[in-house]
Each structure stands twice: as structure tokens, then as C-alpha cells.
Chains A and B, each alone.
Chain A
Amino acid sequence: MGERQNGGGHGRRRVHPGAGVPGHQGNDGTGGTAGTRGADGTNGTAGTRGTGGTDGLEQLLADAMRGHPGGGEGEQLAVAAFRAARDGGAHRARTRRRDDWRPREQRRLGRSLKTTLSVLVASLTIGGVAFAAIGTSGSSADDTADRARERQPHSAASEQAGTTPGTAGSAPADRPVTAQDTEAHCRAYEKVQGRGNALDSAAWQRLIEAAGGEEKVAAYCVRQLAQAQRNKQDASQDDPQGKAPDKGNAATAAPTTGAPGNSEKQPEKATGKKKQ
């Protein structure tokens, strides 16, 4: 199909069968045909191409093979069928791909318009779903986020009060640590722990601050993850499958009870360590 681009070749070729057609239509006698052919065959009107023979042959074949334009029974049948289809409403049928014989550019234009529209609709749909998802999980994780926010000023402020008072206060404000963030960081922390220097990044620093010290991160994470799990279950209470993870959670939640007491005493110590 990519051949349309070589328009030169086709353009030239298509002229010939075509050129024969009106001639045939117009003077449908043999005299006219012989005339054109004589010119073609002998010294080649299309002599620039030196294909007088083919042209003559094509003309000849067209003349010999083409049927006579009807007006007879066939035409009447066809017109009757046309009338029936028109009156029966069949002509309002949808265009299928195989019925679309518009030049390629137009077809592509029509298709690209259709594509654009469907992409737009799809993105709106996905966007809507995503928005709704953010809405629900956001509300369910609210209290987790609140806790994180409560904790943040406590450790962060005490730690950075002397050096950069402004940032400590504004950090949670312009980018509140959401439960998801914490959760994700905690999960990642488990993976990269002790390897590389990923833990130097700002996100890790925030996590460490939130936990109140590097060695507290593990305990903090256990609590956060358990909390997140609980929240998820709260959110999916009506979900019939919500029950099964509930049991699993009891086990994971267990360490949480011990952890808070632990970490609550630690911030000062951790901060002290940090300051060194």
C-alpha cells in the first residue's frame, strides 16, 4: 500500500486504461479506435516512452473486452434494487472499512480524527477512574497522614530549629507526607537497606526524620505498614475478600504495639546523633 507515494509511476500508468475508456464510450465505433491505434502503433504518440505496443494492446483489449453499456434488463433490475434499498432505508447503513474508497489521505484524516477522539475519551475515562481512586484512598488514609504530620514537626522541628527554622515548618505544608509515600518508602527501605547510597536521598532523609532516626526506621516502618494495612481493610470492609487479609494483619500488627513506646522516647537521642 505504501506504493501510493510513487505516484509518478501510477499516475502515468493510470492514464492509459483511462484514456481508452472515454474514447470507447464516446465513439463506440471501430473507426475511432483504429485511428488512435494507428497513431500509437506506427510512430508512437506516446513515443516518448516507447511503449506504443502496450498502449495499443491495452486499448485493443479494453475495446474487445468491455461489455456494451446496458439500458437493458440488467439496468432495470439494478435500478429496481436501488429503489427498494432506498425506500427500505438500507442506504442509511454504516460505512464499513471496505466501503471507504476515498483517497488515502482523506481516509487517514478521518481515521486519525476518530483515533484522536477515542484516545481523548479513553484518557478521560482513565483519568476519572484514577481521580476517584485517589479520592477514596486519600480519605481512608487520612488518620495515617495526620499521625505522620503530627510526628513530623516534633522531630523535624526540634532537630532543625537552630539551623533552618523556615524549612522545618514549611516542609510538611508544601508537601505533606502521605501515607502512601511513607508506605512506599518503607517498602523500598527494606529492599535497599545496607546497599548503595540511595539512603542519602531527600526522600530517605524525610523518612528518617519521620521515624526519628536512622535506626528507628525499621520500627517506624512496621508501624506505618501495619497502619496502612488496617486502613486498607477499613476501606474495603464491604469487600467480601476483606476478611482474609484481616487475619494476616493480626500478626503483622503485633510488633506495632511495642514500637510506639520505643520510638517516642527516641527522637531526642536520634536528633542528637544527627547533629553530630
Chain B
Amino acid sequence: MQTYDVELGAAVARAQDGDEAAFAVAYRIVQPGLLGYLRGIVGDDAEDVASDAWLEIARDLGRFKGDGAGFRGWSATIARHRALDHLRRQKVRPRSATLEQDVLELPGPHSTHDQALESLSTEYALALVRGLPRDQAEAVLLRVVVGLDGPAAARVLGKRPGAVRTAAYRGLKRLAQQLGVESVTDDDPRTLGESK
């Protein structure tokens, strides 16, 4: 991650100096995580929302200050705002209660832990994540898929880091339960303790 963020930071710095090839590099580094995050919020419209977000990122790049990790957070914030705008326009709820139900009724694709981990399809993962309460889903996606640290994820969401950490933990725990992954519960007391 360190080298990866260093690379991103360097690309962003060059792009801010006007290097469009460097901007393309930053795009390639950031876009996958951003798209994954947006899929979790707006589903199939993620690509459209992502291009809206990138237009704004490209326009405001001169305003940005920070390193590679900072750029990840900054771009995620922009993407999130675009996604929320999109949801408002569509008057579509980010997820429906029935979706969650569907997910729970899906037969586990595999009976054992290892099998489940080996072949979790994008669709199934997406369905699982979108089955989470919104705050948990966002926290999990920002931490795991976008790769933000706790404080950065909290800043994107406009919440306290402790709240975001708890939400991410609960979301992961729930996903793990649905996938039949056992050992997460062991982590519970200490992780919660840290947030105090």
C-alpha cells in the first residue's frame, strides 16, 4: 500500500503540474476502488456516477492538497456526493429491504469456509454488501475496497472515526456470518475497546 500510495501521490503531483499522462495513471489506480464503492451505493449506475465524479475530480484537481492516501479520500468524497445526488434525483433508496431478504435467502454458494472464500462472485459480494445497513456498507466499502484508513473513511462519511470503525466492524462481522466465516467474533472485544 505504501509504495502504491507513493506512486499515486507522485502521479497526482505531476498531474497537478499539468501532466495528463500522470492523471491517467492516477485514474487507473483509483478508479477500481471508487467503482466498487459506488456499486455498493448506487448499484448498476456506478459507472455513470463514477464518470460524473471524475469530471469533477479532473476539474478541481488544482484545489487538492495531499498525498496519495489523501487523494483516495478526496476522490471518494467527491464520488460519494455524486452518488448521493444521483440517489436524490432518482428518488431511489440505496437499497431495499427486500434485497436484504433475498440475500439472506440465497443458498450459501459453498458449504465450507475455504470454498466460500475461493469463489465469491462479484454479484454475490455486491448483494451481500448491499444487504447491509447503509452506514455499515459504506464503512466496509471505504475501508476494504477503497482502502482508506479509519480517520479518512470517517472524514468521507462526515462521522466520528469511532462510529465508522464500529460500523465497519459490524458490517464485516455480519458478512462473515453470512459466509460462514467463523473467527471474526474473536476480534470483537478488542476492536471495540480500541474505539473508546
Contact = CB atoms under 8 A, between A and B. Distances in A.
B108 interface: no
Nearest to B72: A101
B28 interface: yes
A95 interface: yes
Contacts of B70: 101-103
Interface residues of A, number: 69
Given A3-B151, A18-B1, A99-B65, A34 B27 contact: no
Contacts of A68: 32
Interface string B34-68: 11110110000011001100110111111111110
Given A54-B183, A101-B71, A37 B63 contact: no
Interface in A150-186: none
Contacts of A56: 117, 181
Contacts of A64: 120-122, 124-126
Contacts, number: 240
Interface stretch (B87-95, B98-106, B136-144): B136-144
A102 B67 contact: yes
A269 interface: no
A103 B124 CA distance: 36
Given A41-B113, A74-B54, A95-B64, A21 B33 contact: yes
Interface in A90-111: 90-96, 98-104
B58 A58 contact: no
A75 B61 contact: no
Interface string B107-118: 000000110011
Contacts of B140: 61
A94 B121 CA distance: 43
A60 B65 contact: no
Given A3-B151, A65-B36, 4 more contacts: A9-B150, A17-B146, A74-B50, A101-B73
A-B pairs with lowest CB-CB distance, top 9: A18-B1, A91-B62, A101-B70, A67-B35, A101-B66, A64-B125, A53-B183, A65-B36, A14-B149
